[in-house]
């Protein structure tokens, strides 16, 4: 008996064929071990555990898929841009496998509809789409091997979504852009971030970005990282002419 079969048995009885066809439609081939894909779309809130007592969820496959995706993309860029140095290749790979881009892929493949979770889908943030896509890549790798996984990434990701020329001009981190500009021009910068609960139930963080003691932009978001990035983006457009000079 497959080690996950007893945990997924109810779902297999009711939805096995539908789930099987969904995976085949997305990947372009018949899955050999369907339980790998069931794991790739199972949230830890389901409480499934294997015989060792470990939680069964998409998180481990997400980790594996991230590594495989990065390797395939790195190989593609290496061959596609033979004149690119290490810094360029690293930057381009980061743009292709950015969280924003992976979220777009997960959305386009409508992966959220396949998730088994005790948490209402409306409560998930945008990153769930990218996480599921990485988990799917991990499942493909374990199910069919590197060669088939590489073909999937090339056909379903690189060919329809990757345009090197467009990506060269795409900013993946406004915060990094602002910091690099400040350091290059010997300017002092400060992200003054603090918790801002406001009137709502969800905790927010507010940030004020100051350069040389002058407030340039401010923003409010549900995480410190997102608040700093939003403030940096606003600062970029305020200082765009100077930064691009």
- The DSSP secondary-structure symbol of 97 reads T
Mind giving me the DSSP string for 98-127? -HHHHHHHHHHTTGGGG-B-SS-GGGS-TH
Please pick, among 18, 59, 134, 165, the residue that the annotation labels catalytic. Answer: 134
- Give the span between the Cα atoms of 65 and 133, in whole angstroms: 8
- Give the span between the Cα atoms of 234 and 209, in whole angstroms: 10
Q: Is 66 part of the annotated catalytic residue set?
A: yes
- Give the span between the Cα atoms of 138 and 75, in whole angstroms: 18
Please pick, among 66, 143, 221, 229, the residue that the annotation labels catalytic. Answer: 66
| 178: CB partners within 8 A, 6+ apart | 189, 209, 232, 235, 236, 239, 243
| 193: CB partners within 8 A, 6+ apart | 205, 206, 207, 224, 227, 228
User: Which residue(s) pair with 211 in the sheet?
Assistant: 189, 214
| 112: CB partners within 8 A, 6+ apart | 106, 121, 124, 128, 129, 132
Listed residue (69, 88, 67, 64) closest to 78, CA to CA: 88
User: Which H/E stretch holds residue 5?
Assistant: helix 5-27
What are the catalytic residues? Answer: 66, 134
């Amino acid at each position: 008996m497959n080690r996950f079969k007893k945990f997924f048995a109810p779902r297999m009885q009711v939805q096995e064929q539908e789930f099987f066809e969904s995976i085949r439609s997305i990947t372009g081939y018949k899955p050999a071990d369907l339980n790998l894909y069931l794991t790739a779309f199972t949230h830890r809130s389901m409480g499934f555990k294997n015989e060792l007592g470990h939680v069964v969820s998409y998180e481990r496959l997400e980790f594996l898929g991230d590594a495989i995706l990065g390797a395939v993309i790195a190989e593609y860029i290496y061959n596609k841009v033979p004149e690119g140095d290490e810094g360029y290749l690293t930057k381009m790979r980061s743009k292709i496998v950015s969280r924003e881009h992976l979220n777009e892929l997960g959305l386009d493949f409508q992966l959220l509809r396949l998730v088994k979770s005790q948490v209402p889908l409306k409560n998930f943030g945008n990153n769930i789409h990218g996480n599921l896509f990485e988990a799917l890549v991990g499942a493909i790798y374990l199910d069919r091997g590197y060669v088939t996984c590489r073909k999937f990434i090339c056909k379903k990701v690189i060919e329809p979504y990757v345009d090197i020329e467009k990506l060269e001009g795409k900013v993946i981190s406004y915060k990094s852009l602002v910091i690099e500009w400040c350091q290059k021009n010997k300017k002092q910068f400060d992200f003054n971030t603090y918790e801002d609960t406001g009137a709502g139930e969800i905790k927010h963080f507010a940030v004020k970005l100051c350069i040389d003691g002058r407030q340039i932009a401010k923003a409010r978001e549900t995480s410190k990282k997102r608040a700093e990035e939003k403030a940096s983006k606003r600062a970029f457009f305020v200082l765009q002419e100077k930064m691009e000079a």
